[in-house]
Structure 1
């Protein structure tokens, strides 16, 4: 596993498409119990090299009801984004994750994770990739039907502050989904 992570950290497959250059961000350990599959690092994460080291990460840790220390314990959480490098800026925010990473690296990483009990699919890119035809038309529909994907997957919207409007329109998420998420995490981590 260490060798695979080292190889990924040196990946330059799509460097010509990356405005800030390649800096793959991924963490995993063969004993990881929960896998977080999100979108792609933002500029803060690109600069620091620490996954979810931004406001989105703070929100996610709050949703999970866990400490920063537990979140970065690789035996508890593997962090495997859909795109490992910052994809660049688009018209309305960051560009989508690069499409090269998941097919190139995900199966290799997941095959080493023998103690995984839950995979968090954060955002539509991860949900569409892993759920295929069982993903609903919209992220809202998929998240609303989160129980259909358990016990393997727990589907979530992105915890970005940009999604505060979505959360305000979908109050059921905080009331119904987050308590279930917290309970799942607590049951796995003890």
Structure 2
């Protein structure tokens, strides 16, 4: 399948992703892959999987988690949803359903089927935001055992990659216990993003 995907045009690959049904039988609301990307994207956001509201609207991070993420990044919704500036590829593209303690993990079928083929089509990414434990597990080399330790060691990956906690309101306690993240890391993140967006004419 890898060789077949490599032969597709960018647009055809994305069309196939958005039409994917490989784990339809396991999805409580059916498949609706939610991704955002362009060959010119400069920043890559790697989340977990869409929540119910994202599934309903088709917009990634169209929820309180997204509001906080945009605040952390220092950008507007308009910039966030400009695919020439931001690519958004969660670890699972469809809403996986809800369990006793929140949304279920991303479906395991998704990343092996599509992830590498899509990442190979994003040549201008200058910064990848790796959000939450499932994204950390896939994207971070030499990662620590916990999200907290990965984030604490953020300079190991900087400036190309930034391990992040999930911006969900469920993480308010984590943020209160780890004030250094918003005090020290977020200002550096905002400066890095501003610099990348100012230089996006380089890919035109």
3-state secondary structure, aligned to 1:112? coil
Higher Cα Rg, which structure: 2
Instruction: Supply the RMSD in Å over aligned alpha carbons.
Output: 0.8
**TM-score calculated relative to the size of structure 1:** 0.97
Runs of 4+ in 1 over 4 A off after TM superposition: none
Tell me the residue number matched to 1:68: 77
How far does residue 130 in structure 1 lie from its aligned partner after superposition?
1.1
Pairing 1:62-141 to 2, within 5 Å after superposition: 62-132=71-141, 134-141=142-149
How far does residue 61 in structure 1 lie from its aligned partner after superposition?
0.2
Tell me the residue number matched to 2:13: 4
> 2:56 & 2:15 partners in 1: Cα distance?
19
**TM-score calculated relative to the size of structure 2:** 0.91
Range that drifts further, 45-54 or 151-160: 151-160
Tell me the residue number matched to 1:35: 44
How far does residue 87 in structure 1 lie from its aligned partner after superposition?
0.4
String of CA shifts for 1:55-74, please: whole Å, max 9, x gaps. Answer: 00000000000010000010
Length, aligned pairs only: 189
> 2:11 & 2:84 partners in 1: Cα distance?
13
> 1:76 & 1:105 partners in 2: Cα distance?
21
Structure 2: unaligned runs, 5 residues or longer: 1-9, 199-204
Structure 1: unaligned runs, 5 residues or longer: none
